[in-house]
Amino acid sequence: MLKPKFFSIIKNRKKELSVHQLKDDIVAGIIVAIIALPLSVALAIASGVTPEKGLITAIIGGLLVSLLGGSRVQIGGPTGAFVVIIYGIIAQYGLDGLLISTILAGIFMIVMGAVKLGSVIKYIPYPTTTGFTSGIAVVLLSTQIKDFFGLEIDQVPSEFIEKWKVYIHHFNTIDLATTLVGLASIFVIIIWPKINKKIPGSLIALILITICVKMFNIPVETIGSRFGDISSSIKFVDFSSINISLPIIEKLIRPAITIAFLASIESLLSAVVADGMIGKKHNSNMELIAQGVANISSALFGGIPVTGAIARTAANVKNGGRTPVAGIVHALTLLLIMLVFMPLAKLIPMATLSAILVIVAYNMSEWRSFKGIFNSTKSDVAVLLATFVLTVLFDLVVAIEVGMIMAMFLFVRRMSENKLIENVSHELGIYINEEEDGADILDASLKTHLDSKIAIYEVNGPLFYGVVNTFLDMLNEMKSTTGVMILRMKNVNSMDATALNAVKQLDKRCKSQNILILYSETNTQPMKVLERSGFVEKVGRDCFFNTTEEAIKVASQIVKTEHDSQV
């Protein structure tokens, strides 16, 4: 059911929203807003837009994600994963291109949620997510070199290798004062949690270093010296000046898909992490719809793409947030800060914002997880490295596409290498129940005859396109004397069109060799596929048995009758 968690909680407010919980949510919301403040400003500037756009994104996006989302504690806003993507879109298509791409991405996300693709997106392989997350972290770090060291570079290339060539060529222009401000900022961010864990070190560094730079008149670049006065208002975008046409929309489909895909993955991963922390379950499809609405709304007010922020969501939970009220308070607190204190933002040193993003990149890198995958299989390592390298050197969409394709092919290979089909004739035994009235006692020669004439194969796991060759290869293992084959399918829960075709081929080849196939313990889904295709009617329903014992008995009777007629 697509119903926002906020409305469910309000409906059951007596049970869900006590005075004590409401207090905890308000406190958590204020703390998360304090955490989001420096990050939103830093992420906006790193993305290539003005500082207030980051706050607009956190306010508009954060409010709608909490109001309409499928998670109780999700915090929405700008994140480090989007810096590289946004920067690239602006460089190629301009701010108008970013606006249209974000709106299109929001529409895509709403559609994905409406058709219930939320649960599918969560199953992207772990090496793939780790690879592109670590890759984004490396690229994000590389975007901060100029501001952290105060390098004199007019235009930094967007391509990773070209960017580093320019850095190396201009490293002799390093500014000592800027570098010291950046290092001091990192020091404060790292040390502060040992003093107080409630107030984020990034905010303390921002306030403390800004005061020091102002008091001692340290000659470093600030937000004000780069951007001038910062707006503290939130205005609806004037679409009359934006050229929106079908050719432009066609060009922006790919960037829009990139935004939608990454926002969906990051939001749902964040929601899953939050579920584990609070012991509740989110509605992934409702979350996608909310994220889509948030992205459209953010763009309409001049913001940048919105997604679920894992670090801020975790901070919300750790500080007592358990309902969407915390996320709403977070957005309203940021709005108040923006209206009152935004003019002071022009005093913030660019090196301090770079230091904040250096720490964000480090936390994003997941280097422990990255290192841990090297202890896994070679195929997992291959997927990880391919996704990582492609993210850094080329494009996130290409990286995810290649990573997913590699993961699927390697999965299929692993499945095909498993012992899918086993000969279990000797395990189950081939017999006629000699206790039944009228049954003949089998002599040794007839038992030997039955053993040579009847083969029982057990299929383990789903029959799908990747294991069809293994399925057909079983014919090569059968004895030349085999007259009846029993296919035991109790462990086959699903069958696709390719597997159905393989069953038909198997039946055809067996008929050409005068081998009768009997099917036992066929589950519901495979049976429906076989019935709908007309296969059951073609071979005869009497070839299908509820138990393997029944199939063995019929097979034994057939072979015994043939044996008696030849004696």
Predicted pLDDT of residue 121: 67
Q: Which fold has domain 421-566?
A: Transcription Regulator spoIIAA (3.30.750)
Predicted pLDDT of residue 474: 63
State the DSSP string of 28-39.
HHHHHHHHHHHH
Predicted pLDDT of residue 437: 44
User: Between 191 and 380, where is the model more confident?
Assistant: 191
Residue range(s) in the chain whose domain bears CATH number 3.30.750.24: 421-566
Look at the alpha carbons of 481, 484, 489, 491 in this order and tell me if their dihedral is positive or negative: negative
* Confidence band of 434 (pLDDT split at 50, 70, 90): very low
* Confidence band of 108 (pLDDT split at 50, 70, 90): very high
What confidence tens digit (pLDDT) does each residue in 1-37 have? 789 999 999 988 888 889 999 999 999 999 999 999 9
* Confidence band of 440 (pLDDT split at 50, 70, 90): very low
430: left (phi over 0), alpha (psi -120 to 50) or beta: beta
* Confidence band of 376 (pLDDT split at 50, 70, 90): confident
Q: List beta partners, residue 517.
A: 485
- What residue type is 202 in one-letter code? S
Predicted pLDDT of residue 188: 96
Tally Cβ neighbours within 10 Å of residue 239: 11
318: left (phi over 0), alpha (psi -120 to 50) or beta: alpha
In eight-state DSSP terms, residue 320 is: T
* Confidence band of 54 (pLDDT split at 50, 70, 90): very high
Question: How many Å apart are CA 316 and CA 312, to the nearest integer?
Answer: 6
What confidence tens digit (pLDDT) does each residue in 483-514 have? 898 999 988 888 888 788 878 888 888 888 88
Closest among 312, 322, 266 to 6, alpha carbons compared: 322
Predicted pLDDT of residue 459: 83
What confidence tens digit (pLDDT) does each residue in 512-540 have? 888 899 999 999 999 999 999 999 999 99
Rg (CA), the chain: 32
Question: How many Å apart are CA 432 and CA 440, to the nearest integer?
Answer: 9
DSSP-based three-state secondary structure for 462: coil
Instruction: Average the pLDDT over 217-223 and give the result.
Output: 95
* Sheet with strand 544-545: strands edge to edge: 421-423, 454-460, 484-491, 516-520, 544-545
* Residue spans of beta strands (DSSP E) within 84-240: none
Angle at which helices 350-364 and 126-143 cross, to 10°? 160
What confidence tens digit (pLDDT) does each residue in 543-555 have? 999 998 899 889 8
Question: How many Å apart are CA 164 and CA 157, to the nearest integer?
Answer: 9
- What residue type is 316 in one-letter code? N
The answer to whether the CB of 334 falls within 8 A of the CB of 55 is yes
User: Between 179 and 549, where is the model more confident?
Assistant: 179
The answer to whether the CB of 345 falls within 8 A of the CB of 41 is yes
Return the percentage of the chain with pLDDT > 70, whole number.
Answer: 89
Instruction: Average the pLDDT over 185-194 and give the result.
Output: 95
The contacts of residue 227 (CB under 8 Å, 6+ apart) are 50, 51, 346
Q: Is the pTM of this model over 0.85?
A: no
DSSP-based three-state secondary structure for 100: helix
What are the CA-CA distances from residue 190 to residues 202, 235, 270 (Å)? 9, 37, 24
Q: List beta partners, residue 307.
A: 77
Tally Cβ neighbours within 10 Å of residue 229: 10
Predicted pLDDT of residue 284: 93
What confidence tens digit (pLDDT) does each residue in 381-409 have? 888 999 999 989 887 777 877 887 887 77
Asked whether the predicted pLDDT for residue 241 surpasses 90, the reply is no
Asked whether the predicted pLDDT for residue 224 surpasses 50, the reply is yes
